[in-house]
Structure 1
């Protein structure tokens, strides 16, 4: 879909805005809105301000570039009458996050509400339509943050900065048309993005199901089965062995870090928990640790070792596939090595760990809360199913092939989402700066309704 340009343009005077249509005027937000306001946070230790609350209270975490219809917290009417900074802002007000990680987020009140001190509210619009202003700020919020935000790790802007922003815009009626166009077009794009996201979720679910079935049931559906005696495994092929991990693999934690790790004479790069992601190990810019000659065998990895996270995302794993160099590993990782390479392959057990993780094997059965650590002694006692080596190799090869195809499809869907998101951003920017003329745009079903055309928000 292509749209024409306006017939004439003038320089906006702002480098990052470029030219705008000649008939557009620049409005300072403080002149275009009757009021700019904010709110406050009553002491959370004093229950009287929150108990029996009926007044919606908006925080910046609830600004999600959408209409706000409910809030996580409600304030009591007593809080509204006690704190002068709290006032009820009418539905239709535009909220902007001014502080910290949420800076620049936007939301439109769908209900009358009050806010905390990190929100700036634009109410009583005169010359700028709320939805047009919303889209303009959405398009250029990063420019505004880059130019005007102060502070280091927690940047912020203030009401004065927002009040002095100048927004080039046509008349209100034309602003409404632009907003209607963007509502429609962004909704179409969002629907396409949602379809791709659903596809990705379905592909991931199918991939996980394929892995779980392969490592517990094998590839041949006709073989006799037996009860494994392990809940998450269920029935397994009768010729498979079910046993503790320690019967098939050595399980060793890495070296404990200490103050002297960077001062010894035997410096070796070492892997940390965060370096081991699913199927991938980071080898760039690794820190150093002192591992003496007599400790190298114990605290270094070799080709084919399986590294498993002991803490954090417990059970996350990857196979070490490099031949060269001495690489250590810290105590936050388990190093798994087959007791007999002729009996077990790490490729198969990697997929077993993926299945176990997805099925909640590394979660506490009483609370279902993921445990923060998996001690080696406990890990060694977990039971898994182990096919003969030929079956392990066949299963690993088949899963590798299937997962490659699945990953390619997921990657294509992710790229599609990225392109759609880029298209969305470009379209918004083009419309709110007049790079495209949508004055004659109309829905396929007919012309813009008279009601919307007369809207005077």
Structure 2
């Protein structure tokens, strides 16, 4: 196995060992229940893969709460405790890890594997850093299997390899990694705050332009709509349903027409552009594709809250999770797209069950209606200012990726023995 060979040749000290991870564990790797419990409004927190974020367990991202009775049943198999490590073992984020840093009672679901260190052989924090390093993740990636999604079995995880120095060296390495990781994480956090401020600035520019226009000296009037506020005196406020056609999905079957099929994930093809001009999949259908310039938005699920609003200017089909909005001549499609983006889809969604948007939310929506000339000018101004901000955001995102790569490289070098920290002064 290549990762094992890589580990063996990087170790600087004969006291380091390359062994299977199961030899340094206090208990066999286990997971949560494979049944779906009843989720409650209060009770014992119930966590799954989405709670693993940036190496930590985020309790605010829990699935929900379960009863004390279910909790007592589940902890007979898997009872989390402080210093446990959770690794996601199925789904798109397979291999991501988090460490338990609380004594709070909670239960986990089956996508999480519980890994518990034998503290006489390995420090939990050292084990956490190693499992999160590329030295371990590469082994996970070549060992996982694919069904409906990527996954890795607990017995497979137990037989992956880890490099283990003496406990005294582990302590020094953990101290080194903690200092370096905190320094890098602070830099990343600062960069992320910069992005957040820039995104708020972009939101403000777009909202101001589509609801107030570009002339700061124009006479204003009350729109009568809370989210809009005042609008230029000559503008109208209209119900959106009067000026649009809404299209849902069609069943894709063999037929005479060929056109791109757009899915929710396609809205992420280029997150820094408003337009999508192609899709990876071409569909056949005996029904004509949706023609004209149109706006695609998510119509159900968590994607609604990502506020993805995209203009498509080619005939296309859409899947059941998307809605197509085709404006009439009174609205420029680009202006209406920015207007919907400014309104924020999550704020108008029906969240009584699964979040969803349909014509019941879209048609009654009251929106400002400038002249076509003003709409064109507004879109041009937005794109000029928005693109400047997006370029800054892209630059900062690249800096963040470089910092993350640097962090991973430091940890990899530490846990594989490329850095000798035994006599290093740490502060």
Give the distance between the partners of 1:217 and 1:124, measured in 2 at CA. 63
Give the distance between the partners of 1:77 and 1:58, measured in 2 at CA. 16
CA RMSD of aligned residues (A): 4.2
Are the equivalent residues in 2 in contact too, given 1:307–1:335 (CA < 8 A)?
A: yes
| Count of aligned pairs between the two proteins | 402
Q: Closer, same or farther in 2 for the Cα pair 1:213/1:145, shift >3 Å?
A: same
2:193 counterpart SS class = helix
CA distances 1:83-125 after superposition (whole Å, capped 9, x unpaired): 8954767643444455556643434444567866753433432
Are the equivalent residues in 1 in contact too, given 2:3–2:138 (CA < 8 A)?
A: no
Are the equivalent residues in 1 in contact too, given 2:89–2:95 (CA < 8 A)?
A: yes
Residue in structure 1 matched with residue 125 of structure 2 by the alignment: 131
Residue in structure 2 matched with residue 228 of structure 1 by the alignment: 223
2:5 counterpart SS class = coil
Residue in structure 2 matched with residue 355 of structure 1 by the alignment: 342
Q: CA deviation at 1:148?
A: 3.5
Are the equivalent residues in 1 in contact too, given 2:83–2:101 (CA < 8 A)?
A: yes
Segments of 5+ residues of structure 1 without an aligned counterpart are: 1-10, 445-457
State whether structure 2 residue 325 is matched by structure 1 residue 334.
yes
Are the equivalent residues in 2 in contact too, given 1:244–1:383 (CA < 8 A)?
A: yes
Residue in structure 2 matched with residue 406 of structure 1 by the alignment: 389
CA distances 1:139-194 after superposition (whole Å, capped 9, x unpaired): 133222234445633522324x4554443333221221111110111111111111
Q: Closer, same or farther in 2 for the Cα pair 1:206/1:124, shift >3 Å?
A: same
Residue in structure 1 matched with residue 258 of structure 2 by the alignment: 268
2:151 counterpart SS class = coil
Are the equivalent residues in 2 in contact too, given 1:211–1:399 (CA < 8 A)?
A: yes
Give the distance between the partners of 1:385 and 1:39, measured in 2 at CA. 53
Structural mapping, 1:256-405, within 5 Å: 257-258=250-251, 261-264=253-256, 267-272=257-262, 274=264, 275=266, 279-284=274-279, 285-291=281-287, 299-301=290-292, 305-309=293-297, 311-312=299-300, 317-321=309-313, 327-329=315-317, 332-339=323-330, 345-357=332-344, 360=347, 362-363=348-349, 371-374=356-359, 379=362, 381-405=364-388
2:417 counterpart SS class = coil
Give the distance between the partners of 2:363 and 2:204, measured in 1 at CA. 25
Give the distance between the partners of 2:185 and 2:57, measured in 1 at CA. 18
State whether structure 2 residue 152 is matched by structure 1 residue 156.
yes
Residue in structure 1 matched with residue 192 of structure 2 by the alignment: 197
Q: CA deviation at 1:222?
A: 1.9
Give the distance between the partners of 1:16 and 1:363, measured in 2 at CA. 51
Q: CA deviation at 1:61?
A: 5.6
CA distances 1:334-372 after superposition (whole Å, capped 9, x unpaired): 222415xxxx54333332222223693x445x9698543
Q: Closer, same or farther in 2 for the Cα pair 1:357/1:125, shift >3 Å?
A: closer
Segments of 5+ residues of structure 2 without an aligned counterpart are: none
Are the equivalent residues in 1 in contact too, given 2:88–2:94 (CA < 8 A)?
A: yes
Q: Closer, same or farther in 2 for the Cα pair 1:300/1:12, shift >3 Å?
A: closer
Are the equivalent residues in 1 in contact too, given 2:84–2:124 (CA < 8 A)?
A: yes
Q: CA deviation at 1:422?
A: 0.8
Which 10-residue stretch deviates more, 393-402 or 27-36?
Answer: 27-36
Q: Closer, same or farther in 2 for the Cα pair 1:236/1:190, shift >3 Å?
A: same
Give the distance between the partners of 1:94 and 1:309, measured in 2 at CA. 38
Q: Closer, same or farther in 2 for the Cα pair 1:394/1:300, shift >3 Å?
A: closer
State whether structure 2 residue 420 is matched by structure 1 residue 427.
no
Are the equivalent residues in 1 in contact too, given 2:241–2:364 (CA < 8 A)?
A: yes
Give the distance between the partners of 1:386 and 1:58, measured in 2 at CA. 46
Give the distance between the partners of 1:334 and 1:307, measured in 2 at CA. 5
Are the equivalent residues in 2 in contact too, given 1:93–1:124 (CA < 8 A)?
A: no
Give the distance between the partners of 2:362 and 2:26, measured in 1 at CA. 64
Q: CA deviation at 1:399?
A: 1.1
Q: Closer, same or farther in 2 for the Cα pair 1:402/1:22, shift >3 Å?
A: same
Q: CA deviation at 1:419?
A: 0.8
Give the distance between the partners of 1:330 and 1:204, measured in 2 at CA. 28
Q: CA deviation at 1:40?
A: 5.6
| Structure with greater Cα Rg | 1
Aligned with residue 21 of structure 1, among 12, 17, 35? 12
Give the distance between the partners of 1:317 and 1:37, measured in 2 at CA. 43
CA distances 1:353-403 after superposition (whole Å, capped 9, x unpaired): 22223693x445x9698543126xx74554322223443332222111100
CA distances 1:278-321 after superposition (whole Å, capped 9, x unpaired): 71224133313235xxx79xx522xxx23343734678544445
Are the equivalent residues in 2 in contact too, given 1:269–1:287 (CA < 8 A)?
A: yes
Give the distance between the partners of 2:312 and 2:419, measured in 1 at CA. 53
